[in-house]
């Protein structure tokens, strides 16, 4: 039986792109989702423990939805009885392979990579998932040095879930006393098979930083047991000791961060990835790039986050194709992804660029804003043509912009924790378009930002410290029409606050997992609301409920996920397909999975 035939008609043109002791990874075409995917198959004859580990990977990744963690689409058994995972397909190279081919990275190349690993691990920890095998070979880089890398954390096969299945009992592969993980990156408590928490991943992350900066792991014995013993008993050599001659200043600045991460006593490490991230960003902001002289353009430029979406064909040839996969609990379930959409052009993919601000040449730079471009694709938005990226830039340069009383059309940031001074500068620059993602916004910060009367578009993403009190301040923005609260942990009670907004025509509420149908219907009081996105929430509708809900809310566009599991629902899908002039595709393999996209506006939307 060929690999293609083992998966029925859904997964086609399987091509092996990697294999190991546990299984093989194939690149494949998903005929239902109409896209390239990676299919990870557990080799037959593996032990029960291997099967448990494989299943654990699916369950761990199913809890996570983050741009720096590889997405998983499906999990199950093929016709030969082999377990498989279907994951996001990535063209890329592992950090391990990059180091092997290019040697150790300097800090300025490594910073944006580590920043994204921090964010991904922090998200996993926040959702009760420990990775337990953080190492360079589980970090995937997609993109290139010039335009920046998108970074993905892979392989949650050793992950430990806190309170899996809601029973309050952690299920761990170490319950029998068996050590799992990679000894070169293993924390002392993991080597001793003790109880683990997020600080074990922080130790492994410290080992990863050390390897990336020096080319060698911090502790390495001649045998497996000797390496474990070193992690338990020996302190790692300093970073400076690995540099012949004079150690670069930026490496010396990182000594304390790495030393704290690698503390034998977990109580002396960073308490969380968030705490480590804040200190890491503060250190980066204080480090001048190489070859900078006072007053030069380089001296006013600090590090920015380079986020790269999809490498173009001209860039892909330099990368080994790496298929990586992670997660979804889709066994025995019939799912359909429905896009109710009216005449909306596809988003324009922009390129990433660093923002260089020289206070002495401010007026000239202000005139060149239209030349700046960037990509924040994981937030699901496309910024205007003219914008400024607020990151770890020189604070004095940003102050200079504000003091010049210059209006900047759009400001965006991702992963940079805003200070009070940053917020003051935003208000002074009077943007009409503002995207703040993972920026540490709380109620007090939001109250202040809502005094920016020029705002028309406000994308406040992955800000989970906002309460109903903060949301109420959004009503103070007189010109607000486009609002995103993606990933802000909203519940139905907080949705009642949003129901009081006036003038908002577009609302993105994706990744708010507590949001139910009741909360969605609170938006019925928002007059003029035309578009709502509730994908990856607890809003689940079936059949004719979709159209009824759209009409009740008075919407043109409704983006959501739904489940079909009755013959009547299948008939409804046929009706949708027949009414579509753009095409509706759905396929069937075992448990029926439908993908319904690009619905005809005349049937599921309005014609105006």
SS (H, E, C) 524-558: HHCCCCCEEECCCCCCCECCCHHHHHHHHHCCCEE
SS (H, E, C) 401-420: HHHCCCCCCEEEEECCCCCH
Q: Which residues of 133-143 are buried (b: 16+ CB within 10 A; e: fewer)?
A: bbbbbbbbbbb
Max Cα distance, the chain (Å): 75
User: Which residue shows structure tokens 């009383």?
Assistant: 405
User: Which residue shows structure tokens 């860039």?
Assistant: 315
Beta-carbon contacts of 19 under 8 Å, excluding residues fewer than 6 positions away, are 25
Taking the C-alpha atoms of residue 15 and residue 24, their distance in angstroms, rounded to an integer, is 10
| 541-550: long-range pairs with CB below 8 Å, 24+ | 541/517, 542/566, 542/569, 543/568, 543/569, 543/572, 544/572, 546/338, 546/340, 546/604, 547/604, 549/517, 549/520, 549/521, 550/340, 550/604, 550/605
User: Which residue shows structure tokens 């009070």?
Assistant: 420
Task: Give me the torsion for CA of 428, 432, 437, 441, rounded to 10°.
Answer: 50
Beta-carbon contacts of 71 under 8 Å, excluding residues fewer than 6 positions away, are 65, 87, 88, 326, 327
User: Which residue shows structure tokens 């007053």?
Assistant: 295
Tokens of 403: 């003091």
CB 495 within 8 A of CB 485: no
Angle, helices 107-126 vs 273-286, to 10°: value is 160
Q: Name residues of the chain where pLDDT drops below 70.
A: 1-6, 8, 20-22, 44-62, 157-181, 288-401, 404-407, 543, 561-608
Tokens of 158: 């050793």
CB 386 within 8 A of CB 372: yes
Taking the C-alpha atoms of residue 266 and residue 200, their distance in angstroms, rounded to an integer, is 8
Residue 519: closest CA among 528, 507, 530: 507
Tell me the β-bridge partners of 30: 11, 35
Strands 35-42 and 23-30: antiparallel
Taking the C-alpha atoms of residue 350 and residue 347, their distance in angstroms, rounded to an integer, is 9
Angle, helices 198-214 vs 273-286, to 10°: value is 30
pLDDT of residue 308: 31
Give the tens place of pLDDT for each residue, 117-154: 999 999 999 988 888 889 999 999 988 877 778 899 98
CB 387 within 8 A of CB 409: yes
DSSP-derived secondary structure for 316-358: HTTS-EEE-------TT--EEEEEE--S-PPPPPPPP------
In the DSSP assignment, the letter for residue 247 is: P
pLDDT of residue 260: 97
Tokens of 399: 């102050």
CB 535 within 8 A of CB 560: yes
Domains belonging to the chain, first-starting first, are 335-563 (3.80.10.10)
Active site amino acids: 133
Q: Which residues of 147-156 are buried (b: 16+ CB within 10 A; e: fewer)?
A: bbbbbbbbbb
- Cα dist. 242→25, 215, 294, 397 in Å? 36, 9, 30, 35
Task: Give me the torsion for CA of 292, 295, 296, 299, rounded to 10°.
Answer: 40
User: Which sign does the torsion angle of CA 101, 104, 108, 112 carry?
Assistant: positive
Beta-carbon contacts of 360 under 8 Å, excluding residues fewer than 6 positions away, are 295
């Amino acid at each position: 039986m060929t690999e293609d035939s083992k998966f029925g008609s859904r997964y086609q043109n399987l091509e092996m792109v990697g294999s190991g002791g546990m299984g093989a990874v194939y690149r494949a075409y998903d005929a239902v989702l109409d896209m390239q995917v990676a299919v990870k198959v557990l080799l037959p004859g593996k032990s029960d423990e291997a099967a448990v580990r494989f299943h654990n990977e699916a369950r761990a990744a199913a809890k996570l939805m983050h741009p720096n963690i590889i997405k998983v689409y499906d999990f199950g058994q093929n016709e030969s009885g082999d377990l498989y995972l279907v994951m996001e397909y990535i063209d890329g190279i592992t950090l391990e392979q990059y180091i092997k081919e290019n040697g150790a990275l300097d800090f300025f190349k490594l910073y944006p990579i580590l920043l994204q690993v921090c964010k991904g691990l922090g998200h996993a920890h926040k959702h009760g998932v420990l990775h337990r095998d953080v190492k360079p070979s589980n970090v995937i880089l997609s993109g290139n040095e010039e335009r920046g890398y998108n970074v993905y954390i892979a392989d949650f096969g050793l992950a430990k879930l806190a309170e899996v299945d809601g029973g309050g009992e952690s299920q761990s592969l170490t319950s029998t006393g068996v050590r799992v993980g990679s000894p070169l990156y293993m924390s002392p408590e993991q080597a001793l098979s003790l109880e683990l928490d997020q600080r074990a991943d922080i130790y492994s992350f410290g080992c990863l930083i050390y390897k990336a900066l020096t080319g060698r792991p911090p502790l390495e014995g001649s045998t497996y047991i000797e390496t474990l013993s070193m992690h338990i008993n020996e302190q790692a050599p300093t970073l400076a000791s690995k540099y012949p001659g004079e150690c670069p200043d930026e490496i010396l600045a990182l000594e304390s961060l790495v030393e704290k991460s690698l503390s034998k006593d977990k109580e002396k490490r960073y308490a969380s990835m968030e705490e480590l991230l804040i200190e890491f960003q503060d250190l980066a902001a204080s480090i001048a790039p190489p070859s900078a002289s006072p007053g030069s353009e380089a001296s006013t430029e600090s590090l920015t986050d380079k986020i790269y979406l999809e490498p173009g064909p001209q860039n892909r040839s330099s990368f080994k194709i790496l298929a990586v996969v992670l997660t979804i609990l889709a066994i025995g379930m019939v799912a359909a992804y429905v896009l109710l959409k009216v005449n909306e052009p596809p988003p324009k993919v922009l390129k990433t660029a660093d923002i260089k601000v020289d206070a002495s040449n401010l007026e000239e730079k202000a005139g060149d804003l239209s030349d700046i471009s960037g990509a924040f694709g994981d937030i699901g938005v496309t910024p205007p043509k003219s914008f400024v990226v607020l990151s770890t830039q020189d604070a004095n340069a940003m102050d200079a912009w504000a003091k010049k009383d210059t209006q900047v059309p759009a400001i965006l940031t991702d992963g940079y924790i805003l200070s009070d001074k940053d917020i003051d500068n935003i208000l002074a620059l009077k943007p009409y378009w503002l995207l703040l993602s993972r920026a540490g916004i709380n109620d007090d910060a939001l109250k202040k930002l809502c005094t920016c009367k020029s705002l028309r578009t406000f994308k406040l993403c992955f800000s989970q410290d906002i309460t109903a009190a903060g949301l109420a301040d959004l009503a103070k923005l007189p010109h607000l029409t486009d609002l995103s609260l993606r990933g802000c942990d909203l519940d139905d009670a907080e949705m009642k606050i949003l129901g009081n907004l006036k003038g908002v025509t577009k609302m993105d509420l994706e990744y708010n997992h507590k949001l139910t149908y009741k909360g969605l219907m609170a938006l019925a009081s928002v007059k003029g609301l035309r578009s709502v996105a509730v994908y990856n929430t607890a809003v689940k509708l079936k059949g004719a409920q979709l159209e009824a809900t759209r009409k009740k809310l008075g919407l043109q566009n409704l983006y959501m996920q739904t489940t079909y599991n009755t013959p009547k629902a299948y008939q409804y899908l046929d009706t949708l397909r027949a009414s579509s002039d753009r095409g509706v595709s759905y396929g069937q393999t075992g448990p029926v999975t439908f993908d319904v996209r690009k619905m005809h506006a005349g049937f599921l939307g309005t014609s105006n």
